[in-house]
A and B are shown apart, each in its own frame.
Chain A
């Protein structure tokens, strides 16, 4: 029974990871992609680790430490990436939706 619960948690976690990947593909610019990647993958990780704890109750403490570790490092790395992206002035998709700066160049090259 507990293995079924664990499997379901791992599956939900995998779904969040998949959504994070899909978000990275669908979002328009670097910052919004980072947002999709950071959030969904953090919760996905936590759910997968909790799911593993159902399979191996003896690992619970270690897994809890891993979850804390992911929670503490994931935002820091995304913050560093976002800061770097801003520092080198990566163009931001803004309202109204506009094409990315690289799109016209690519079109020109193709023509």
Chain B
């Protein structure tokens, strides 16, 4: 293993370990010494297994330049999700369900697996679209109301809101 890969692995191990320990603190809400030791040990084992088994995690770097876009992405995501729900209510309570469903393919610029995972999950929660397949940089999307079959235009409409921020956050 190249030293550089190893350094990155230990960095992402430490990051994940701290994150999991924090979640443990929040969930146990106890500062007893036994609780802290148990939590830290469990978090260490989980982080170790995860970094070994899921190399994609090592692409995620925790730094301020990446956290700020991540928070902005969270904001965009929440707005889109509320819009998606109001949209869905309109369909559900309409006297006649007026939809035009179909499957379109869109491409993403995101390179890392974690970024693509985040994008696919975001699409599932946003207005009228659901990812049914993800292969390489092509997402197959089920669209509730197909407005266009043109790949470029569909990409702009479905992926557009998230891609910029996710690209900065995950690459």
A and B from one assembly? yes
Q: Which residues of A contact B23 (CB under 8 A)?
A: 65
Q: Which residues of A contact B88 (CB under 8 A)?
A: 19, 23, 35-36, 39-40
**With contacts defined as CB atoms under 8 Å apart, how many contacts are there between chain A and chain B in the complex?**
102
**Chain A residues touching B, majority SS:** helix
Q: How distant is the Cα of A75 from the Cα of B102 in the complex, in angstroms?
A: 19
Interface string of B88-109 (1 = CB under 8 A from A): 1101110001011111000000
Interface string of B117-148 (1 = CB under 8 A from A): 00011101100111111100000101010100
B29 interface contact, C-beta 8 A = yes
Give residues of chain B (136-169) contacting chain A, Cβ–Cβ below 8 Å. Answer: 140, 142, 144, 146
B45 interface contact, C-beta 8 A = no
Total A residues in contact with B, Cβ cutoff 8 Å: 38
Name B124's contact: one of A26, A32, A65, A79 (CB within 8 Å). Answer: A79
The answer to whether B144 touches A35 (Cβ under 8 A) is yes
Q: Which of B34-42, B52-60, B77-85 contacts A (4 or more CB under 8 A)?
A: B77-85
Closest to B127 in A: A39
Whole-angstrom distance between the Cβ of B31 and the nearest chain A Cβ: 14
Q: Which residues of B contact A36 (CB under 8 A)?
A: 88, 91-92
Q: Which residues of A contact B124 (CB under 8 A)?
A: 38, 74-75, 78-79
The answer to whether B101 touches A29 (Cβ under 8 A) is yes
Q: Which residues of A contact B93 (CB under 8 A)?
A: 19, 22
Q: How distant is the Cα of A32 from the Cα of B144 in the complex, in angstroms?
A: 7
Q: How distant is the Cα of A10 from the Cα of B120 in the complex, in angstroms?
A: 28
The answer to whether A39 touches B133 (Cβ under 8 A) is no
Whole-angstrom distance between the Cβ of B17 and the nearest chain A Cβ: 17
With A35-B130, A39-B85 as contacts: A75 and B100 at CB distance below 8 Å: no
Closest to A24 in B: B92
The answer to whether A34 touches B29 (Cβ under 8 A) is no
Closest 9 CB pairs of A and B: A75-B124, A75-B121, A61-B26, A82-B132, A23-B92, A86-B132, A31-B142, A43-B85, A95-B100
